[in-house]
Amino acid sequence: MSIKLGDIAPNFEQDSSEGPIKFHDWIGDSWVVLFSHPADFTPVCTTELGLTAKLKDEFAARGVKAIALSVDPVESHTRWIDDINETQATVVNFPIIADHDRKVSDLYDLIHPNASDTLTVRSLFIIDPNKKVRLMITYPASTGRNFNEILRVIDSLQLTDNYKCATPGNWVDGDDVVIVPSLQDEEEIKRRFPKGYRKVKPYLRMTPQPNR
């Protein structure tokens, strides 16, 4: 199936390194980062899973859970986790889905037919507490994910969900934001953005980040 932004993330029940996962139950009221890797014992993904473990506090501060996936079995995941902990000087603190029957990979369209009938592409999904898919990124095998960008996107999504604003290019937490064009009532603008705003163009109005 083809997943689009705004779709409800497909639910599933599957084995993992931390036991069976009923995905929607596991999400609860959290945000989720779900990411796939082609196979266990792959070098780039070893660094990524180590980095994810080290970012546990950053994710927790944003109400985010991380979960990974490959088509390898639990026994392989367990051995790989030992390698990740050793080489990345961390402790893996999130589940890795053991998608041995490709059930989840098929639901999320992760099988890479141009490379293999079993290898999963390196895709990442951000899913909100309403179970909606808010971001999808697919990376080439040679390029490691930038988790600072993942955190930045989560910050932007959570901010713009709560305020009538959008975040400009290269925005990071604390920078000015854009007032959405649909908001035109000046009294409402003053109420929502009491620090005022700068009109660059009628359609481009910058204001200090409202929750800072």
Residues 117 and 167 in one domain: no
Q: What is the pLDDT of residue 104?
A: 94
Catalytic residue among 27, 32, 33, 45: 45
Residue 155 lies in a domain: no
The secondary structure of 88-155 as a DSSP string is: HTS---S-EEE-TT-HHHHHTT-B-TTT-SSPBPEEEEEE-TTSBEEEEEEE-TTS---HHHHHHHHH
Q: Are residues 73 and 128 in the same domain?
A: yes
Integer Cα distance of 133 and 136 in angstroms: 8
Residue 93 is assigned to a structural domain of this protein? yes
Q: Is residue 122 part of a domain?
A: yes
Q: Within this chain, do residues 40 and 138 fall inside the same structural domain, yes or no?
A: yes
Is the pLDDT reported for residue 211 higher than 70?
yes
Q: Let me know if residue 8 belongs to a domain.
A: no
CATH of the domain at 100: 3.40.30.10
Residue 6 belongs to some domain of the structure: no
Which range, 99-108, 134-143, 172-181, is most confident?
Answer: 172-181
Residue 27 and residue 101 in one domain: yes
Question: Known catalytic residue: 165?
Answer: no
* 169 secondary structure, DSSP code: T
Are residue 28 and residue 55 in the same domain, yes or no?
yes
Is the confidence at residue 127, as pLDDT, over 90? yes
Q: Are residues 24 and 115 in the same domain?
A: yes
CATH number of the domain bearing residue 178:
3.30.1020.10
Same domain, 97 and 176: no
Q: pLDDT, tens digit, for every residue of 3-60?
A: 999 999 999 999 999 999 999 999 999 999 999 998 899 999 999 999 999 999 999 9
Residue 122: pLDDT band with limits 50, 70, 90: confident
Count up the domains in the chain and report the number: 2
Whether 64 is covered by a domain: the verdict is yes
pLDDT tens digits for 73-119? 999 999 999 999 999 999 999 999 999 998 998 899 887 655 555 55
45 and 131 belong to one structural domain: yes
Residues 194 and 124 in one domain: no
Residue 80 half-sphere exposure toward CB, CA atoms < 13 A = 27
Flag whether 158 is in a domain: no
Rounded CA separation 187/78 (Å): 58
Same domain for 137 and 181, yes or no, is no
From the number of C-beta atoms within 10 Å of its C-beta (0-12, 13-18, 19+), residue 208 rates as middle
**In which domain, by residue range, is 177 found?**
163-207
Residue 72 vs residues 19, 76, 121, 196: alpha-carbon distances, Å: 14, 6, 14, 54
Residue 3 maps to a domain: no
For residues 76 and 136, state if they share a domain.
yes
Residues 88 and 28 in one domain: yes
